[in-house]
Amino acid sequence: DAKTTQPNSMESNEEEPVHLPCNHSTISGTDYIHWYRQLPSQGPEYVIHGLTSNVNNRMASLAIAEDRKSSTLILHRATLRDAAVYYCILMYNQGGKLIFGQGTELSVKP
């Protein structure tokens, strides 16, 4: 099964961009890359997903390396509310099985 590797923790200042990296060197051609986040005492929340091309939505951007062995979640302007654990997840084939990475705990300083 393809696995992901993320830094355990990162820090950011409020109002600055944040780049959260994820390595997935054993990704297969049909695996989608998903990002979720989990705020304290809550269930995970969908952020963004992609396959090969970079993706943007109202919450974040996802940059995918050309060889697909890594990706980066970009929060354009971090707010205190963005402090959470961010999970980089691979969709294992099309069967719905999600493989979670360890997650990166993002702290945002005022």
Partner 1 sequence: EAQVTQNPRYLITVTGKKLTVTCSQNMNHEYMSWYRQDPGLGLRQIYYSMNVEVTDKGDVPEGYKVSRKEKRNFPLILESPSPNQTSLYFCASALAPNDVYEQYFGPGTRLTVT
As to burial, measured by CB atoms within 10 angstroms (0-12 exposed, 13-18 middle, 19+ buried), residue 49 is middle
Q: Which is nearer to partner 1, 96 or 110 (CB)?
A: 96
Distance in Å, CB of 16 to partner 1, minimum: 26
DSSP state of 41: T
Least gap, CB of 13 to partner 1 (angstroms) = 26
Q: Which two tokens stand for residue 14?
A: 């409020």
Rounded to the nearest angstrom, the gap between the alpha carbon of residue 32 and the centroid of all alpha carbons in its chain is: 12
Given candidates 7, 21, 23, 49, which one binds partner 1 under the rule CB under 8 A? Answer: 49
Beta strands 104-109; 9-13: pairing state: parallel
* Binding of residue 99 to partner 1 (CB under 8 A): yes
Binder among 9, 16, 45, 54 for partner 1 (CB under 8 A): 45
Give Cα 108 to chain centroid, integer Å.
16
Rounded least distance, CB 78 to partner 1, Å: 22
Q: What is the H or E stretch that residue 71 is in?
A: strand 70-75
Which of 53, 66, 94, 110 forms a contact with partner 1 (CB under 8 A)?
Answer: 94
Where along the sequence are the contacts to partner 1 (CB under 8 A)?
A: 1, 32, 34, 36, 42-46, 49, 87, 91, 94-103
